[in-house]
Structure 1
Amino acid sequence: MTYRISGLDPAPYQTLFGRPVDELAVVNAQRMVVTDQPGFPCRVRLDDVEPGRSVLLLNHLSVATGPYRARHAIFIEEGAEAAAVYRDTVPPALNRRVLSVRAFDHHDLMMDATLAQPGEADAAIRRLLADERVRYIHTHNAVRGCFAATVERVE
């Protein structure tokens, strides 16, 4: 079975790049300078941002409808231009973290979930996608709870 993990489309966030702090505050966003690596995973590139670079800390609303629709904080690297796409492989920012891996059906209802330790996400994804009812998977950083990425089944 084949799967794809894509970073978020940067277009909705690009209008915030370079904005003054007071304008970011209006939309509940903050600019931060990366101090540690790993520690600031960009949800567009799906890798940790290098120290000294700027990220925006902002709120992300999942596209799911119904009771599992969620909001949480994410980092977007300022200047991120294109969403990373990984096919049948787990991106670096996900592979080095403990993840909550949550499988959803066509009605956006959670079918199953598991924890994946660093390096174990691929096996967890494949196990959940073995259930034909699973349409997509959401991954979240298990420690902080932040949305990490969506995994899509590729037919």
Structure 2
Amino acid sequence: MSAFNNIPESTEAPNQLITNLLPVPLKYIPLPAPLPSLNTPITIVASDGMRPPCRRCLLDASPGEELHLIAYDPFPVDSVTPYRGTGPIFIHAYDCGLFDGDVLPERQLRRQMSIRAYDQSHMLMAAETVDGTELEKVAGGMLADEKARYVNVHNSKPGCFAVRIERA
């Protein structure tokens, strides 16, 4: 128990990466695994009050745009890891093209993010929850340790996969 309100100590695994390394340059992979078949997607229309982010182009939808809500697993199809699992993502109903930039769109950086570093066997090495403005610094620091192969980023509140980050 901790001294603060008799709360039990954390049961989370410790960070397995070397910390305080200089962050490395990053590249962003919007959809690291193939999209599933879109036979019967749930389709929504974005509005002023609901502008979901598309996981292909990484831009928030504009009011009136159609998006598909689908289940997506960002791990490689042939990977065997207890961390794999599908979760909800939005993609534009049209082929908007894959994000290919060096800097994430600014609206992506306004969200709370869960950042999870994985090794070559797709096993979790470290995890942090950060404000989106800290994303590049924290992910770059995780990837500075050579044991980390990639980082999967999820939006903290809904848990949706956001983007994979690798060394540039």
Q: Which of the residues 87, 93, 115 maps onto 1:72? A: 87
> For residue 161 of structure 2, what is the aligned residue in structure 1?
147
What is the deviation of 1:131? 1.2
**Closer, same or farther in 2 for the Cα pair 1:97/1:103, shift >3 Å?**
same
1:6 equivalenced with 2:29 (yes/no): yes
Question: Percent identity among equivalent residues?
Answer: 30
Larger radius of gyration: 2
**Closer, same or farther in 2 for the Cα pair 1:49/1:112, shift >3 Å?**
same
TM-score normalised by the chain length of structure 1: 0.81
Are the aligned partners of 1:38 and 1:48 in contact in 2 as well (CA < 8 Å)?
no
> For residue 53 of structure 1, what is the aligned residue in structure 2?
65
Distance in 2 (alpha carbons) for counterparts of 1:38 and 1:5: 25
- Give unmatched runs, 5+ long, in structure 2: 1-23
What is the deviation of 1:12? 4.3
SS at match of 2:31: coil
More helix by share: 1
> For residue 47 of structure 2, what is the aligned residue in structure 1?
35
Any idea what the Cα deviations from partners look like across 1:6-57, whole Å, max 9, x if unmatched? 2227x847x74xxxxxx52xxxx20000123664010001111101110000
Aligned residues: 141
Moved over 4 A (4+): none
1:51 partner amino acid: P
SS at match of 1:86: coil
Are the aligned partners of 1:90 and 1:121 in contact in 2 as well (CA < 8 Å)?
no
TM-score normalised by the chain length of structure 2: 0.75
Distance in 2 (alpha carbons) for counterparts of 1:6 and 1:131: 19
RMSD: 2.1
1:126 equivalenced with 2:140 (yes/no): yes
> For residue 129 of structure 2, what is the aligned residue in structure 1?
115
